[in-house]
A and B are shown apart, each in its own frame.
Chain A
Amino acid sequence: MTDPRTLSPFDLDTPEKTYLDANELVINMGPQHPATHGVLRVILRLDGEKVLGLECVIGYLHRGVEKIAENRTYTMFNPYVDRMDYVAAVSNGLGYCEAVEKLLSVEAPPRAQYIRVILTELNRIASHQLWLGTHALDIGAITPLFYTFRDREEILKIFEKYCGARLTTHAFRIGGLQYEAYDGFEEDVRKFCKFVKPKIDEYEELLTTNRIWLERTKGVGVISGKDCIALGVTGPVLRASGVKWDIRKALPYANYKNFDFEIPTGQNGDTYDRYIVRMIEMRQSLRIIEQAVEGIPEGPIMAKVPKVMKPPVGEVYHSIEAPKGELGYFIVSDGSTQPYRVRVRPPSFVNLQALDLMCRDQLVADVIAVIGTLDIVLGEVDR
Chain B
Amino acid sequence: MHAIVEYISSYLQSNQTPGAAGNFVWATIYILLVFVGLSIAVICMNWLERKILAHMQVRLGPMRVGPHGLLQPIADALKLLLKEDIIPAEADATVFWIAPFIVVLAAFTVFVVVPFGPTHAITDMNIGILFMLGVSSLAVLGIVTAGWASNSHYPLIGALRSSAQMVSYEVAMGLAVVSAIMMTSANAEGTGTLSMIGIVQAQLEQHEWFLFKYFPLGIVAFGIFAIAMVAETNRAPFDLPEAESELTAGFHTEYSGFRWSLFFLAEYSAMIAVSSIAVTLWLGGWLRPFPNALTGPTWDLVFSLFPGLTFLFLAALCFYSTVRMPKHPLFRIQTMGLAGFGVVLALIAAILFWGPARVRVQDIYWFSAKVAGFMYLYIWYRGTFPRYRFDQLMKVGWKVLLPTGLALLILTAIVGMRTEILSMFQEGLR
Contact = CB atoms under 8 A, between A and B. Distances in A.
B156 A141 contact: no
A138 interface: yes
A140 to B, nearest CB: 3
A146 B392 CA distance: 27
B245 A150 contact: no
Contacts of A146: 57-59
B300 interface: no
A136 B57 CA distance: 14
Most buried by A among B237, B245, B382: B245
A215 B392 contact: yes
Interface in B210-245: 236-237, 239-240, 243-245
A267 B205 CA distance: 60
A163 interface: no
B156 to A, nearest CB: 7
B246 interface: yes
A140 B245 contact: yes
A19 B387 contact: no
Contacts of B161: 49
B386 interface: yes
B58 to A, nearest CB: 5
Contact of B388 (A18, A19, A215, A366): A215
A141 B244 contact: no
Most buried by B among A25, A207, A212, A363: A212
B388 A216 contact: yes
A147 B384 CA distance: 12
A206 B384 CA distance: 8
A206 B154 CA distance: 30
A191 interface: no
A19 B160 CA distance: 13
A139 B237 CA distance: 10
A366 B388 CA distance: 11
A213 interface: yes
A49 B248 CA distance: 15
A359 to B, nearest CB: 13
Interface string B235-279: 011011001111010000000000000000000000000000000
Interface in A362-383: 363-366, 368
Given A136-B386, A140-B385, A212 B156 contact: no
Interface stretch (A27-35, A83-91, A96-104, A286-294): A27-35
Contacts of B399: none
Interface string A143-182: 1011100100000000000000000000000000000000
Given A146-B57, A146-B59, A364 B385 contact: no
A365 B383 contact: no
Interface string A202-232: 0000110010110110000000000000000
B389 A216 contact: yes
Interface of B is mostly: helix
Nearest to A139: B386
B153 A25 contact: yes
B390 A212 contact: no
Interface string B41-57: 00000000000010011
Interface of A is mostly: helix
A137 interface: yes
Nearest to A207: B386
B189 interface: no
B391 interface: yes
B353 to A, nearest CB: 39
B386 A34 contact: no
A19 B156 contact: yes
B153 A215 contact: no
Contacts of A207: 386
A142 B57 contact: yes
A35 B246 contact: yes
Interface string B336-374: 000000000000000000000000000000000000000
Contacts of B156: 19
Contact of A215 (B248, B384, B389): B389
A366 B59 contact: no
Contacts of A363: 389-391
Contacts of B57: 142-143, 145-147
A34 B245 contact: yes
Contacts of A143: 56-57, 383-384
A215 B392 CA distance: 8
B389 A365 contact: yes
Contact of B386 (A18, A25, A141): A141
B58 A216 contact: no
B309 interface: no
A3 to B, nearest CB: 23
Interface in A12-39: 18-19, 25, 27-28, 33-35
A216 B387 CA distance: 8
B157 interface: yes
A12 to B, nearest CB: 14
Interface in A97-140: 136-140
B237 A140 contact: yes
A216 B389 CA distance: 7
A139 B387 contact: yes
B376 to A, nearest CB: 16
Contacts of A137: 245
A142 B246 contact: no
Contacts of A35: 245-246
A364 B237 contact: no
Contacts of A25: 153, 157
A140 B392 CA distance: 14
Contacts of A364: 157, 246
A33 B59 CA distance: 25
Nearest to B152: A19
Interface string B24-55: 00000000000000000000000000000100
29 contacts: A25-B153, A25-B157, A34-B244, A34-B248, A49-B157, A49-B161, A49-B390, A136-B386, A137-B245, A138-B245, A140-B239, A140-B243, A140-B387, A141-B384, A141-B386, A143-B383, A143-B384, A146-B58, A207-B386, A210-B385, A212-B392, A215-B389, A216-B392, A363-B390, A364-B246, A365-B243, A365-B389, A368-B245, A368-B246
4 nearest interchain CB pairs? Answer: A140-B387, A146-B57, A35-B245, A141-B386
Given A216-B389, A365-B387, 16 more contacts: A18-B151, A27-B153, A28-B153, A49-B157, A49-B390, A139-B387, A140-B243, A146-B59, A212-B386, A212-B387, A212-B392, A215-B388, A215-B392, A363-B390, A364-B246, A365-B389
Interface of B: 53, 56-59, 151, 153-154, 156-157, 161, 236-237, 239-240, 243-246, 248, 382-392
